[in-house]
Chains A and B, each alone.
Chain A
């Protein structure tokens, strides 16, 4: 197994120490940082997402894999920035107002980062205005909204409305969360819905580059 493949395996197993060690080894071998991301980390998170979709992985396995990837990314991000490399797309992500559930949203963020989408994470309990301001400020192509409570589904609708009212015509709205359905997405005028974080990557890519 090559070191890049080993790095992929370390992410899948959620072995953060091994992931950092291998990232350092690869850097010492003068592998370009972008290759470490795309050939080492990204396939790891993709596999983790698939296993979650297939009910082989559960939230704990996802969390430790995301942690391993995050810690390896922290070593690479300054180098990527120095080389002027930017992700192809930028996404603004958050849980809607009144809702504090952020585990699912965080996993979506990690999967998007794992697919080389830049993520501006606004956290949880985010007002419609904040989403609008962040989309403008970061010139985002994608905005991801999460809601876990039936009580906060209306806030999701208000947020979509606010984005449209602000004249942000090109930004694609992707929504998710346990009570959310495709029907609801249609009803509130969102561009796409995904049932889990792994599908969230495919769906986000399809909306921006159909």
Chain B
């Protein structure tokens, strides 16, 4: 089995020759930027360089599936959010929230001619063409709740969820339109699967009841319209929401270290596959032995795909990330 076959087999619940290693949240290192000569922030607007930098996650770090888009805020940036594009050791973030009322929330026809989305799609096309036979090429969209926080302000969204839920619902519908189109465009460009980054709906960010009434139906509607396998990521201790996740229709759930691998696989019960949950602080600060222990724990619990639990710091040593592939190979 090559990396791509291994990943796609595990993603859909089949039996690969060994567990694949993948990432969906942002993952690059300063070391890899130096060795490839492709540096943030330039890569975010340069498909050729972005594809080269991300392929190093396979070639140097041994990842079977690579998420080819680093910048998490692509949709907000294309829709007018001002950006701080970051630095080699700093991921991009937004600086302004362009939507004040639902009337401001309009998705333009030329969405994919706008940057950085134009580059994102080009990166996936390039990656697929050049590396698609040896690794899985993953796309990435924001989750609707996270996207809305960038468009309308994090605290505004969280308070309006209680103050005026109908306004939030109206905003979310518009987000879903943009996100479905973006995900399907990524599949057309050759993505093998698309991840949905919903850190903004992390465990403490809204109650399980609010998740169930305000967001679950949105996730379900959105995922039903995405034409390919999806990997949903939500941060934190989501144990009180696990019973709801199967209803989203996602193919796979990317969980972090706040949920133990054994609890996660028990909750999934074969209804979706799971991917996790290496602690990202340990990827920065601990050593290969501790990371190998976490890989073992995930494998023992039957986690289908090994991955960092969340976004990693660009300061992580390559040796720590490489330790994950080595631990799987030893298993």
Contact = CB atoms under 8 A, between A and B. Distances in A.
B327 interface: no
Contacts of A153: 281
B313 A151 contact: yes
B206 interface: yes
A64 B90 contact: no
A103 B313 contact: no
Q: Is the interface of A mostly helix, strand, loop or mixed?
A: helix
Contacts, number: 51
A18 interface: no
A136 interface: no
B83 interface: no
Given A61-B207, A151-B314, 14 more contacts: A14-B162, A57-B207, A58-B205, A58-B206, A59-B204, A60-B159, A60-B207, A60-B210, A100-B93, A103-B155, A150-B284, A150-B285, A150-B313, A151-B284
A149 B93 CA distance: 13
Q: When A and B form their complex, which 7 residue pairs have the shortest distance between CB atoms, in order from nearest?
A: A60-B158, A150-B313, A151-B313, A58-B207, A150-B284, A179-B281, A63-B159
Contacts of B210: 58, 60
B159 A150 contact: no
Interface in B74-100: 89-90, 93
A60 B161 contact: yes
Contacts of B155: 63, 103
B281 A63 contact: no
B291 to A, nearest CB: 14
A134 to B, nearest CB: 24
Given A150-B280, A151-B314, A103 B93 contact: no
B185 interface: no
Given A151-B313, A179-B281, A55 B240 contact: yes
Interface string B159-175: 10111000000000000
Interface in B206-238: 206-207, 210
A50 B207 CA distance: 15
B90 A151 contact: yes
A150 B282 CA distance: 9
Contact of A63 (B89, B90, B158, B284): B158
Interface centre among B158, B206, B312 (most CB of A within 10 A): B158
B90 A59 contact: no
Contacts of A150: 280-281, 284-285, 312-313, 315
Interface in B83-135: 89-90, 93
Interface residues of A, number: 19
Given A55-B240, A59-B204, A100-B93, A64 B162 contact: yes
A64 B157 CA distance: 12
Contacts of A60: 158-159, 161-162, 205-207, 210
A153 B284 CA distance: 11
A101 B313 CA distance: 15
A145 to B, nearest CB: 17
A67 interface: yes
B56 interface: no
A118 interface: no
Interface centre among A52, A58, A63, A149 (most CB of B within 10 A): A58
Interface string A49-92: 00010010111110110010000000000000000000000000
Interface centre among B89, B93, B159 (most CB of A within 10 A): B159
B154 interface: yes
Contacts of A59: 158, 204-206
Contacts of A98: 90
B155 to A, nearest CB: 6
11 contacts: A55-B240, A57-B207, A58-B210, A60-B159, A60-B161, A63-B158, A150-B312, A151-B313, A151-B314, A153-B281, A179-B280
Interface in A88-129: 98, 100, 103
Contacts of B154: 103
Nearest to B209: A58
Nearest to A14: B162
Nearest to B239: A55
B207 A151 contact: no
A151 B312 CA distance: 9
Contacts of A63: 155, 158-159
Contacts of B158: 59-60, 63
A81 to B, nearest CB: 27
A201 B165 CA distance: 32
Contacts of B205: 58-60
A67 B312 CA distance: 33
Interface in B136-193: 154-155, 158-159, 161-163
A201 B315 CA distance: 33
A67 B159 contact: yes
A151 B89 contact: yes
A166 B128 CA distance: 55
A185 B129 CA distance: 48
